[in-house]
Amino acid sequence: MKYKYLHTSIPLGIARSVDDESARLYLACRRYATLAFMLLFAFSGKAQTLRGDVNTADYPNVSFTWNEYNPQKLDSEQFILRADSGKIATRVENLPFGDSVPQAKSILFLWEDLNHQSHEGQSKFVQSVLNQFFGDSTLNSADRFNIAVFDRKGGNDIGHSIHTWLASDFTSNRQQLAEAVAVFRPKYDLFSNQQNSELYFAIEEGIVRLEKEPSDRVRAIVVFTAGSNLDNYGGRNSIDEARAVSLKIPVYVVKYPIRGCEHCTNIDLISQKTYGQQIATANTLIATDLLQQCYRGMSARHHGQDYRIAFTAPFCRDGQQHSIVLTVGGKEYSISFTAPELTFSMWLKENLLWATLIGISTLIIIALTAFFIVRAIKKHRRKLIELEIRQQTAAQKAEDSRKEFEQYRQQKDEEETLAKKREKEKRFAEQMRVKNLLPRLQYELSGARYSFSVIKPEIIIGRDADNDLVLVNDSVSRHHAKIVFNGNSFEIQDLGSTNKVIVNGAFTERSTLKNGDIIGLGEVIIYFSV
């Protein structure tokens, strides 16, 4: 058997026929299909957008970027720009794809549940293609898929389309979908009289379901079908292509050819109108290969084509908003932009003589004004300098007097504080003597044991020589801690040491000491006894 396949939007290969006549037939069909495709979209005008702002930086030269969802490149003659004054000459440049092309995809496969005698082999064909597709390791892991099986019309199923979802929602688990495809069994047997399809209801429902997927993803429908006759059972024979295009949801078709359905071409037009692609073959290897090529090109087709349109604006530099009409393939779009205001440099070029006279007069006036202003400023400045010197002298005398008074007051405060401290220490020392509270600190340094008696209310412990208790050890801070008598008991206080103060195995900032407490200062262990 000979198999031929056709990609209506972008041909992906030469018809795989064994004779040259079939190849020539394919090439001729491709040329006519491409021509028909371009003529069709010359009048569609769907899903166009202005990308970014109109660039007026080099006014009156103006440019803007225009996007056509149509993946086919348009000729520059298909872009017409007009203003109220008439047609504007344009320069159109096709731009390469940018970073805005989305990569993640949500793809819905619609499987026509047809097991009619004349369609024998269609279900196995679909199962084989889907299993091979989901087994491809090059599929993007971020992509999500789902499969819905739709009925053939007949019996109580009239008016019902999708009747089986092979997954509860779109999923990236391709193994789950492949297993669901493998175990699926057709709803009808080979002898059921199911001839007309709910194909268009299924596509419409698929569009509604895909509309819920994030719009920043590539969304597409892939239909496995044998085509559809005109509907004689109250169903539909087309879809709302304009809505599909506005949502950027193309319909790709894998068409299983059968005898007697050469006229089933309505689905072909839907694929063309929604910027999808079509595969027509009963060979699973060819169908899988072409389906994978369609999959790899979905992102670029979803983006469409960008064009830079440049022109010379016929409007004055008035700072006002102006409108132009862009016609693309017979459809008009209004584009507005604000013309820059007339700058001073532009005015100078147009009025050079007057500008020169005004400039000279202005310079003379400025020079005279500056002369008198400078003289007045100098005179005023001398007076200010003299006043500032007198103020600085007075302020310096006042500051000197304040400092002397502050030093005298500080000296008195220090003497009073020292006297109170000495009185307090004397009182606490007397209490220690009367109560016989003269603790001993026993410790070991360099293998030798030492004992230190606390005979005053406050002792400082540290590594430096100015401490009351000097511990010559690198783990001890210069001023590590102090032991203070508060009238009733002794407490140890950390003086911000590096290795902290440990009392009975616990770090502490301040702790009351009891007989037998073990104090750790760095590596030195001190036993406190009263």
Rounded CA separation 66/55 (Å): 12
Omega prior to 96 cis, within 30 of 0: no
Rounded CA separation 480/483 (Å): 11
Of 227 and 469, the one with more pLDDT: 469
**What is the average pLDDT across 502-528?**
94
pTM for the model stands at 0.55
Instruction: For residue 289, give both structure tokens.
Output: 């290969």
Strand partners, 165: 148
Instruction: For residue 167, give both structure tokens.
Output: 């997954």
**What percent of the chain stands above pLDDT 70?**
82
User: Residue 421 pLDDT > 60, yes or no?
Assistant: yes
Return the amino acid letter for 283.
N
pLDDT at site 283: 93
Query: Residue 350 is inside which H or E element, if any?
Result: helix 344-350
Rounded CA separation 328/80 (Å): 7
* CA contacts within 13 A on the Cβ side of 365: 6
**What is the average pLDDT across 6-10?**
37
Strand partners, 451: 442
N- to C-terminal Cα distance for the chain?
112
Of 14 and 306, the one with more pLDDT: 306
User: Residue 190 pLDDT > 60, yes or no?
Assistant: no
Residues 59 and 313 sit within 8 Å (Cβ to Cβ): yes
Of 37 and 346, the one with more pLDDT: 346
Rounded CA separation 247/262 (Å): 30
In this structure, the strands spanning 251-255 and 218-225 are parallel
Rounded CA separation 325/336 (Å): 9
User: Residue 29 pLDDT > 60, yes or no?
Assistant: no
Instruction: For residue 88, give both structure tokens.
Output: 């504007």
Task: For 113-232, list the strands marked E by DSSP.
Answer: 144-150, 162-165, 218-225
At residue 285's C-alpha, the angle toward residues 279 and 286, to 5°, is 35
pLDDT at site 166: 92
User: Residue 16 pLDDT > 50, yes or no?
Assistant: no
Q: Of how many residues is the chain composed?
A: 530
Distance set, CA 308 to CA 55, 62, 90, 226 (Å): 11, 10, 10, 41
Rounded CA separation 368/140 (Å): 78
Q: What is the tens place of the pLDDT at every residue in 77-133?
A: 999 999 998 999 999 999 887 666 677 999 999 998 876 666 678 889 999 999 999
Strand partners, 453: 440
The sign of the dihedral angle between the CA atoms of 503, 509, 511, 513 is positive
Q: What is the 3-state secondary structure (H, E, C) of 162-195?
A: EEEECCCCCECCHHHHHHHHHHCCCCCCCCCCCC
H helices present in 229-296, as ranges: 241-246, 266-273, 284-296
Instruction: For residue 397, give both structure tokens.
Output: 């005398």
Selection from 436, 496, 428 nearest residue 456 by Cα? 428
Phi, psi (deg, nearest 5) at residue 193: -95, 65
Residues 203 and 251 sit within 8 Å (Cβ to Cβ): yes
